[in-house]
Amino acid sequence: MSSPFTLTIDWLAFTLPAGSAQDTMQMLGGDWTKSNTGFRGYPASWITTSASRGVGKLGTRAPRAPLEVHVDLSGGIVAPWPSGKVRTVLQWILKHDGHLTRLDCALDDRNSCVSLSTIRQAIEIGQCVTRADRMQRISSRSIHTDTPSGETLYLGSPHSQTLLRIYDKRLELQSKEREEWQEYGIRWELELKKDRAQVCGQVLSYLEETDWLEYIVGVLRGYVDFRDTRRDEEEEFRYRAPLLEWWLLLTDGFKKGRLVVEKETQTLTKVKRWVSQSVAPMLAVIYAEHPGGQAWLEKQIVAGKRRWNNKHRGLLKKETPSSAKMDAGGLAGAPSQGGEGVS
């Protein structure tokens, strides 16, 4: 039986003082598209997306530093990476004198061994020992059905180099109608920025992947601890008070957890939504090209059918029997009126 505790690297952002946009995109992988707009003050930019709504952006050619390259990769891009790729990318960044600007590490209590209400109550009565001075609670619910769609506890300031988010990942994914929502529980998400992101990235780049969990739990406990104390007790005593039993069990569970690659479950509906949101504007540009835009698109659809692999065929098998028939029958010279190519 696998551990109910997991670690996922959920966000990565970095800056290279001198680099090549093409080399960087090649190292990161994915399909990148030149953007018509700038990004974070960089006039030249590229964008990549994933079916799970992950977004990656790359900017360069800033007048103040023409060779500088900056990259932001959201969780939907980084979370599906194997830990070996994360480590390779971190090593590549550091080899090129890069500086990490953000690194998110998500520790998931997938069985919700400790409820969000237990954590919140411990903070409210002063059992949370931390350098952070601020706790913010944000909850949301549907206006139409009055059902809760999520609650998040924030420890720390969004302007500081460390911010801890604790929230019900299962409830969040369920409200978004994600198929894998039952696989999650309470998430403890450390957002590290600037120097703290750099130090964490340096350690992960040379640390054996089997030791990542223990290290990240150490980072978490260096930021927050839950002890059998009260807010009005002396500071020295608060930091030496016994750990709460649930916190000891939880962090020990995290240490014995596993590194995971978040599954990017694809369906034809998700692919259609991704095409509509991310690709359709560029397709419209090609279509408007005179005189052969439409003919070129049709040619690419036919050619794309020949490049299908098991992933593409699997998408069709999840749909209606008519879609499966189309997969077996194929496209004969022109796109079928009843089917869609997936590239």
Q: What gap in Å lies between CA 156 and CA 202, rounded to an integer?
A: 23
**Least confident window among 69-83, 292-306, 323-337:** 323-337
Which of left, alpha, beta for 49 (phi over 0: left; psi -120 to 50: alpha)?
A: beta
For the cut 50, the answer to whether the pLDDT of residue 323 exceeds it is no
Given a cut of 90, whether residue 71 has pLDDT beyond it is: yes
Q: What is the pLDDT of residues 220-269, one digit of tens each?
A: 999 999 999 999 999 889 999 999 999 999 999 999 887 655 555 555 65
Domain shared by 253 and 276, yes or no: no
Would 152 be classed as within a structural domain?
yes
What average pLDDT does range 48-76 have in this prediction? 92
pLDDT score of 172 more than 80: no
- The residue from 206, 239, 259 where one domain ends is 259
Query: What is the rounded CA–CA span in Å between residue 202 and residue 247?
Result: 28
Predicted local confidence at residue 51, as pLDDT: 67
Mean pLDDT of the chain: 83
The pLDDT of residue 143 is 81
pLDDT > 70? residue 36:
yes
Looking at the 3D structure of the chain, how many domains does it have?
Answer: 2
Is the domain of 40 the same as that of 128?
A: yes
25 and 168: one domain?
yes
Q: Is residue 151 part of a domain?
A: yes
Residues of the chain above pLDDT 90, percent: 59
Are 73 and 144 members of one domain? yes
For residue 127, the model assigns a pLDDT of 97
Sign of CA dihedral 68, 73, 77, 82: positive
Rounded CA separation 310/295 (Å)? 27
Q: Quick check: is 342 in a domain?
A: no
Whole domain around residue 161: which residue ranges?
5-259
Same domain, 300 and 319: yes
The residue-averaged pLDDT of 191-216 equals 95
Question: For residue 262, what pLDDT is reported?
Answer: 54
Q: Is residue 64 part of a domain?
A: yes
Q: Are residues 70 and 177 in the same domain?
A: yes
The average pLDDT across 159-173 equals: 89
Q: Residue 231 gets which letter from DSSP?
A: T
| 168 DSSP β-pair partners | 186
Tokens representing residue 179 in the block: 């198929």
Nearest alpha carbon to residue 105 among 222, 201, 4, 3 = 201
CA distance linking residue 321 with residue 133, whole number of Å: 58
Check whether 149 has a pLDDT greater than 80: no
Pairing of strands 258-259, 5-16: parallel
Residue type present at position 250: L
pLDDT at residue 85 is higher than 70 = yes
* Tens digit of each residue's pLDDT (9 = 90 or more) over 270-310: 566 556 655 677 677 777 776 777 777 777 777 777 777 66
- Together in a domain, 289 and 192: no
Same domain, 291 and 254: no
User: Do 172 and 120 belong to one domain?
Assistant: yes
pLDDT band at 334 (very low <50, low <70, confident <90, very high): very low
What percent of the chain clears pLDDT 70, i.e. is strictly above it?
A: 78
Residue 335 pLDDT more than 50? Answer: no
Please indicate whether residue 342 or residue 211 has the higher confidence score (pLDDT): 211
Q: Is residue 143 located within the same domain as residue 11?
A: yes
Residue 120 has a pLDDT of 95
DSSP state letters, 171-183: HHHHHTT-TTGGG
The mean pLDDT of 106-134, rounded to a whole number, is 94
